[in-house]
Amino acid sequence: MEEIEAKFLDINPEEIEAKLKEIGAEKKGEYFYKRRIFDYPDLRLHKDAAWLRLRDEGDKITLTYKKRLGFSYDPKINDEGMQEIEMIVEDFHKTGIILEAIGLTEKFYQENKRIRYVKDGVEFDLDFWPQIPPYLEIETDSWEKVDEAAKLLGLDPNSKKICSTTQVYQLYGIEDIEYQRMTFKGFVKKVHPHLLEKDGGK
């Protein structure tokens, strides 16, 4: 299944929230996400621009396979899209144990905060990540609807980024794969010997 989602960088969260309320979007909640990214020890998923994400979203826990489509090594160039296969799991800790028991390893751990609004089947997520400016994600069922939603907020559809958060970090000079933990309290650096190629994602 293809994920139809675009990012708009360097937004003013207060202004975007005000516009979302103005157009009648409904606030669904504020969330604190914890995620563990898994791969094989030889990082074969990373080399194929793919990853396995275990995420605690507060109200549910998801296990997701993601793969960048038509990706470029240049973070300034948009991908063609994203393949996503997701399921709900019961236990964040035990699922991690199962993944490690079958031979996967944790690539890194990350946290972020999110404020979600919804209008007419379109999800608007204000995302806050450690050490980079906040950005807006718009997700719906077609690229045309993404552009229409952006225009409702006064954003230029041509400025959208079709990319992973890894690419967003790269735009700010941060390689997330060089860190073991990325939290609002700080980063813990750990360079894996296989992480020499600037590909893959989050």
By mean pLDDT, which of 92-96, 157-161, 176-180 is the weakest? 176-180
Cα–Cα distance, 73 to 54 (Å, whole number): 25
Residue 192 in this model has a pLDDT that exceeds 60: no
- Round the average pLDDT of the chain to a whole number and report it: 93
- pLDDT of 73: 83
Question: In the chain, what are the domains?
Answer: 2-189 (2.40.320.10)
Residue 122 in this model has a pLDDT that exceeds 70: yes
Query: What pLDDT digit, counting tens, does each position of 78-97 carry?
Result: 999 999 999 999 999 999 99
Mean pLDDT of 124-143: 97
pLDDT band, very low/low/confident/very high, at 71 (cuts 50, 70, 90): confident
pTM listed for this prediction? 0.88
Residues β-bridged to residue 45: none
- pLDDT of 199: 47
